Amino acid sequence: MTATAAPPPPAPLLEVEGITKAYPGVLANSDIAFAIRPGAVHALLGENGAGKSTLVKIVYGLVRPDAGRMRLLGAPYAPASPAAARAAGVAMVFQHFSLFEALTVAENVALGMERPPPLRRLAGRIRAVSAAYGLPLDPDRPVADLSAGERQRVEIVRCLLQEPRLLIMDEPTSVLTPQEVEILFGTLRRIAADGTAILYISHKLEEIILLCESATILRGGRVVAGCDPRRRSARELAELMVGRIVQPPARAAAPAGAPVLEVAGLSLPAAWPHGRALHDVRLAVRGGEILGIGGVAGNGQDELLAALSGERPGPAAAVRLDGRPIGALAPAARRMAGLATAPEERLGHAAAPDMTLTENTLLTAAGRERLVRHGLVGWRRAQGFAARIIAAFDVRTPGTEVAARALSGGNLQKFVIGREILQRPRALVVNQPTWGVDAAAAAAIRQALADLAGAGAAVVVISQDLDELMELAHRFAALNEGRLTPARPVEGLTVREIGLMLGGAHGMQAARPAAEGVPA
Amino acid sequence: MIRLERRPAPSRFWTAATPLLAVALTMVAGGVMFAILGKDPVAAIRTIFWDPLFHPQYAAFSRPQLLVKAGPLILIATGLALGFRAGIWNIGAEGQYIAGAIAGAAVGLAFYPLEGWFVFPLMVVAGAFGGWAWAMIPALLKARFGTSEILVSLMLVYVADKIVAAMAVGALRNPDATGFPGSRNLARYPAAANPDLIAGSGLHWGGVAALLAVALVWLILARHRLGFEVRLAGLAPRAARFAGISPGRLTIVCLGLSGAFAGLAGLFEVAGPGGQIRIDFGSGYGFTAIIVAFLGRLHPAGIVLAGFLMALTYIGGEIAQFVIGLPAAAIQAFQGMLLFFLLGLDLAANYRLRRLRRAAP
């Protein structure tokens, strides 16, 4: 396949007109209209709850609109299922990968196909496509051995094998290292040059300015602007999206003093096959300080959080809070001691989806907020605490007696973080605090974390969003294959140095030997 | 094309309506089954649901029986419901019921013929302990080794069946009954008997215990930390571990409580209506209670209603057996249908039907 830069034909590839979709209590999409021409990289921008996901699900046949119509290549297009959308030439790479770790790349690709060819021929096609688009990928490797970036390549190749006319990418860079992002952008540009249009969803505005030639901006389920992002600044785009000025959080000077949270020699075996073992993790965070922990997904983030939350207790001396050994305590006792945690997965881990916000306060605040006394639950107190979180963190919800799963991702995350912060912990550890969260909610959460540190607590932010860590943290450390690098001050840290600390993700081993301070 | 779509929240209407609809559908399908068996379906249904309460001849006998049967069903089902809500599946309440009866009866028989106010209370404690201990086998195996409590508790029913048969001809056999299997009749040993509290009402201490159990479980679910933990573990196991709820401890508590309730039901039965340890002491209450728990939507109030309904089909079924000659297996199939329709209709509470146009090729 050769890249032919043909002049843009007048007919749009996909036209969307008057799309409206209401859920009980929410108008997710209202009269949405936009068009994508063949070969374009078109951005879909908006806060969480702005209606991006619903719109994309409609285009991909997962949700049926209440009103409106779509045309694909001039013909009416109303997919009843993702299979119908794929048959019509629309493919999608989801934020969460649907891959089986125990199977090889080729086997995973075959599983996603309606009529897969024999594996050996498929492997050949995978090699051909990955070579043509600059996506290094070995079809015979088990997915368990792949980095997040490589897993994403599997998903992209899976889509490209269907020779789609439109490729939908949902927040594709959220799990990638800077180097992997470069590779991805090269690939996407090549795909677009071959005439496949790309609908690109991201909250990282710099990326959209770099990659996209047109953008549709959604706010509250409506189109508020269509523009050429290359002619706008990130700040302008953010304000169109949010509808108000976005302030970066104020960062206080790094404090001095005794460490509040100390982890020393923390090792944990992998909890399940393909899980990650932790090896001799050491860190120390002072009161008022924010330690940022970067790293590509699957390098021990979940395990580190579980070891700190008490879900997987270890030796008592491995975790100390204000000098007191708490490493062997169960979760409730750790919270009482003053160590709060917020895991990455909001639904089902940090919160129970089918329980109300009031009930969800009990998950972590039962002890510190004295919501349970003599074994009896004080539902009034719990409801009052839920109401305080909602008010203090601007959680958009009809009330406290709403199921957690009814909240948008950003609002639920504000609730989860707020639930921990309002308990005034001595130390707070959060994993991916703004993952899949809109810009306004992300800014609010970061500000809240900065404020908590400002009030004297030790804060650990585990995140794959390096921009977030650079903005928020005083010191930075990286998790790689269950090992944590020594922390370095963020001031003066270059992108290249960070990339090296991340340990050179799989497929970039060249970066590894130069890494300094990375334990072998 | 028609497709099932998950509702954003379970439908309150369908949650309340499905038990009633399930009963109605069971009557229809059961009627068809009775018709195929060559019986008049209307008469059969009337015999099962109406005659036990209002038949001029049988009602006087069968009305108290309703309490006698409903008591143990409600007592066992209330305990089971707590575990079921947490996703802990105690299928072996029948075994715990038998174990409770053996333990309770053994204590009573050990004091025979001593008269003392303390004998019956000691038997109650022993009955609860017997059921609890029998339930601790699957509970500890699950907590320690991760075995399936479903299989272990179910298998232990058959072990308990063998033990009670061995007891009836061995250790607990009535030494005065020359050669006959079965223990002394506890109903004729006043210090150990569990008679009707009001003569002829069918209400013995088991009924009182069932009511107390309903109130206790209701309180636990609504107000106590344990109730919250049970619901959280059932709805979101990972969030439960994050909240610090130990799955092993919860398994032990829930299985222990349901085992103790089942053991109590066994004790009240053996000291009351049953009277003695027999070879075939197991009567299926422990299994029927599973239907009762689900029919009552795992809610204490629902379980009270469901317990009476199942008791009705039991007694009505017996009447139908000797009046119109329905086979006993048909009655069991009838009760099974009830659970089948209930679980099938549960779909309606969580899902709705959507009509879809065919996908364009």
- Phi and psi torsions of B305, nearest 5°: -65, -45
Number of domains in chain A: 2
Q: Which residues have CB under 8 Å from A183's CB, separation 6+? A: A134, A135, A136, A149
Q: Which site among A377, A401, A429 would you substitute to test the B interface, given the most B Cβ atoms closer than 10 Å to its Cβ? A: A377
> Cα A479 to chain center, whole Å?
17
- Of A352, A405, A406, nearest to B232 by CB-CB distance is A352
Which residues in chain A touch residue B9, judged by CB atoms under 8 angstroms apart? 403, 406
Q: What confidence score (pLDDT) does residue A24 get?
A: 65
Does residue A493 sit at the B interface (CB-CB below 8 Å)?
no
Q: Which of A346, A295, A302 is nearest to A147 (CA)?
A: A295
ipTM greater than 0.95, yes or no? Answer: no
Task: Please state the length of chain B.
Answer: 361
What average pLDDT does the structure give for chain B? 90
Does any domain span residue A518?
no
Put simply, the answer to whether B238 touches A345 (Cβ < 8 Å) is yes
Both tokens assigned to A18 = 């008057």
pLDDT of A144 strictly over 50 = yes
CB proximity A513 to B under 8 Å: no
Confidence of residue B356 (pLDDT cuts 50, 70, 90): low
Query: pTM higher than 0.80, yes or no?
Result: no
Domain C-terminal end among A217, A242, A267:
A242
CA dihedral B86, B91, B92, B93 (to 10 degrees): 70
| Domain co-membership, A150 together with A269 | no
CB contact under 8 Å between A348 and B239, yes or no, is yes
**Which tokens go with B360?**
């364009």
Let me know whether A204 and A292 are in one domain. Answer: no
Residues A267 and A331 in one domain: yes
Q: Which residue has the tokens 């706010």?
A: A219
CA distance A349 to chain B (A): 4
Q: Which chain A positions have a beta carbon within 8 Å of B233's beta carbon?
A: none
How far is the C-alpha of A114 from the C-alpha of A117, rounded, in Å?
A: 10
Residues 322-351 of A with CB under 8 A from B: 330-333, 335, 343, 345, 348-351
**Chain B positions in Cβ-Cβ contact with residue A311 (cut-off 8 Å):** 241-242
Report the residue of A77, A335, A363 to disrupt the B interface, i.e. the one with the largest count of B CBs within 10 Å: A363
> Would you say residue A431 has pLDDT above 50?
yes
With bands split at pLDDT 50, 70 and 90, how would you rate the model's confidence at A514?
very low
Contact B231 A349 (CB under 8 A): no
Cβ atoms within 10 Å, residue B197: 12
Residue whose C-alpha is closest to residue B83's, from B211, B225, B224, B227: B227
**Angle at the Cα of A59 (from A195 to A441), degrees rounded to 5?**
105
Window B:110-139, CB contacts with A under 8 Å: none
What percentage of chain A reaches a pLDDT higher than 90?
A: 40
**In a domain? residue A254:** no
Q: Are residues A213 and A264 in the same domain?
A: no
Option in A88, A343, A372 nearest B242 (CB): A343
Q: Which residues pair with A170 in a beta bridge?
A: A201
Radius of gyration (Cα) for chain B, nearest Å? Answer: 22
What pLDDT is recorded for position B361? 40
Q: Which residues of B touch A79 (CB under 8 A)?
A: 359-360
* pLDDT tens readout for residues A349-405: 999 999 999 999 999 999 999 999 999 999 999 999 999 999 999 998 889 999 998
CA distance B73 to chain A (A): 28
Q: What is the pLDDT of residues B214-224, one digit of tens each?
A: 999 999 999 99
In angstroms, the CA B29 to CA B286 distance is 25
Q: Which of A310-319, A376-385, B93-102, B349-358 has the lowest mean pLDDT?
A: B349-358
The distance of B361 to chain A (nearest Cα, Å) reads: 7
By Cβ distance, the residue of B1, B239, B360 closest to A349 is B239
In a domain? residue A44: yes
List the beta bridge partners of residue A198: A41, A167
Residues B76, B101 contacting (CB under 8 angstroms)? no
| Closest CA in chain B for residue A333 | B244
The whole-number average pLDDT for the span B246-269 is 96
Distance of CA A375 to CAs A352, A372, B227, B299, Å?
Answer: 21, 6, 10, 21
Report the CATH number at residue A386. 3.40.50.300
Nearest CA in chain A to B220: A376
Q: Using pLDDT thresholds of 50, 70 and 90, give the confidence band for residue B8.
A: low
- Section A315-343 average pLDDT: 94
Examine the domain organization and report whether A220 and A266 are in the same domain: no
- The predicted model gives B209-238 an average pLDDT of 95
- On whether residue A4 sits in a domain, the answer given is no
Calpha distance B161→A167 (Å, rounded):
63
- Confirm or reject contact between B1 and chain A (CB < 8 A): yes
Query: How many other C-beta atoms can be found within 10 angstroms of the C-beta atom of residue B225?
Result: 18
Shared-domain flag, residues A466 and A333: yes
Looking at every residue in chain A, the average pLDDT score rounds to 85
Which of A242, A273, A303 terminates a domain? The answer is A242
Flag whether pLDDT at A445 surpasses 60.
yes
Residue A504: pLDDT band with limits 50, 70, 90: very low
Strand segments (E) across A173-221:
197-201, 214-219
* Per-residue tokens: A160: 């490209």
- CA–CA dist A41, A44 (Å, integer): 10
Burial of A115 (0-12, 13-18, 19+ CB in 10 A): exposed
Closest-CA distance, B229 to chain A, in angstroms, reads 9
Q: Taking CA atoms, what residue in A is nearest to B244?
A: A331
Cross-strand partners of A354:
none
Q: Does B226 touch chain A (CB under 8 A)?
A: yes
- For residue B201 the two structure tokens come to 């009402």
The upper half-sphere exposure of residue A433, i.e. CA atoms within 13 Å in the direction of its Cβ, equals: 35
Judge whether A428 and A420 are in contact, CB under 8 Å: yes
Nearest chain B residue to A363 by CA distance is: B243
Distance from C-alpha of A387 to C-alpha of A356, rounded to nearest angstrom: 12
**What 8-state DSSP symbol labels residue A360?**
H
Report, as an integer, the average pLDDT of A60-67.
90
Residue A429 lies in a domain: yes
* Residues B357, A84: Cα–Cα separation, whole Å: 12
A418 and A475 in a common domain: yes
- Cβ <8 Å between B228 and A359: yes
Three-state DSSP at A356 gives strand
Helix then strand then coil, in percent of chain B rounded to 5, is 70, 5, 25
> Where does a domain end: A242, A275, A290?
A242
Q: What is the mean pLDDT of residues A287-294?
A: 93
Give percent above pLDDT 70 in chain A: 89
Q: Give A-chain residues touching B358 at CB under 8 angstroms.
A: 80
Alpha helices in A212-270 (DSSP H): 234-242
Q: What is the pLDDT of residue A50?
A: 78
DSSP A255: P
**For residue A339, what are its two tokens?**
């160590």
Reply yes or no on whether the pLDDT at B9 is more than 80.
Answer: no
User: Given an 8 Å threshold on Cβ–Cβ distance, is B243 in contact with A375?
Assistant: no
- Give the neighbor-by-neighbor strand order of the sheet with A324-325: A278-286, A259-268, A319-321, A324-325
In terms of domains, do A233 and A294 share one? Answer: no
Mean pLDDT of B338-345: 85
Going along A236-321, which residue ranges are E strands?
Answer: 259-268, 278-286, 290-294, 319-321
Residues 6+ apart with CB under 8 A from A414: A393, A394, A395, A441, A444, A445
Q: Which residues of A touch B8 (CB under 8 A)?
A: 23-24, 405-406
Whether residue A401 lies within 8 A of chain B, CB to CB, comes out as: no
Structure tokens that stand for B288 in this block:
């029927």
What DSSP string describes B123-157? HHHHHHHHHHHHHHHHHHHHHHH---HHHHHHHHH
Contact A245, A237 (CB under 8 A): no
pLDDT greater than 70 at residue A347:
yes
Yes or no, beta carbons of B243 and A406 under 8 Å apart:
no
Residue A375 phi/psi, 5-degree rounding, is 80, -10
A238 and A323 housed in the same domain: no
For residue A505, what pLDDT band results from cuts at 50, 70 and 90?
A: very low
Q: Cα–Cα distances in Å, from B206 out to A294, A333, B211?
A: 62, 40, 9
**Predicted local distance difference test score (pLDDT) of residue B244:** 93
**N-term to C-term CA, chain A:** 42
Q: Locate tokens 């006394």: which residue?
A: A373
Contact A226, A194 (CB under 8 A): no
* CB proximity A24 to B under 8 Å: yes
Q: Do A238 and A295 belong together in one domain?
A: no
| Residue-level pLDDT at A250 | 56
Strands (E), A367-418: 372-373, 376-377
| Inside any domain, residue A325 | yes
pLDDT of A171 reads: 80
B174 CB neighbour count, 10 Å cutoff: 18
Instruction: Give the CA radius of gyration of chain A.
Output: 23
pLDDT, one tens digit per residue, over B31-76 is: 999 999 998 999 999 988 888 888 888 888 888 999 999 999 999 9
Residue A286 falls inside a structural domain? yes
Using DSSP, how many helices (H) and how many strands (E) does chain B show?
14, 2
Please tell me which of the candidates A78, A351, A372 has its beta carbon nearest to residue B360. A78
Q: What is the pLDDT of residues B168-182, one digit of tens each?
A: 998 899 888 777 888
CA distance A172 to A180: 11
pLDDT interval class at B359 (50, 70, 90): very low
CA A315 to chain centre: 31
Q: Which amino acid is at A26?
A: V
A214 and A277 together in one domain: no
A373: nearest CA partner in chain B: B225
Range of the domain at A447: 259-511
Q: Sort out which chain A residues have CB atoms less than 8 A from B241's CB and list them.
A: 311, 331
* Distance in Å, alpha carbon of A79 to nearest chain B alpha carbon: 6
Predicted pLDDT at A512: 34
* Interface contact B8, partner A, CB < 8 A: yes
Residue whose structure tokens are 């160590």: A339
How far, in Å, CA of A411 to CA of A431, rounded? 16
> A178 and A267: one domain?
no
In degrees rounded to 5, what are phi and psi of residue A146? -90, 150
Q: Where are the alpha helices (DSSP H) in A19-90?
A: 52-59, 82-87
**What does the angle CA A50 – CA A53 – CA A59 come to, to the nearest 5 degrees?**
120
Q: Is the pLDDT of residue A244 over 90?
A: no
Residues of A in contact with B228 (CB under 8 A): 359, 362, 377
Comparing CB atoms, the residue among B223, B235, B238 nearest residue A349 is B238
- Among partner residues A311, A351, A406, which is closest to B241 by beta-carbon distance? A311
Give domain status of residue A3, yes or no: no
**Is the CB of residue B241 less than 8 Å away from at least one CB of chain A?**
yes
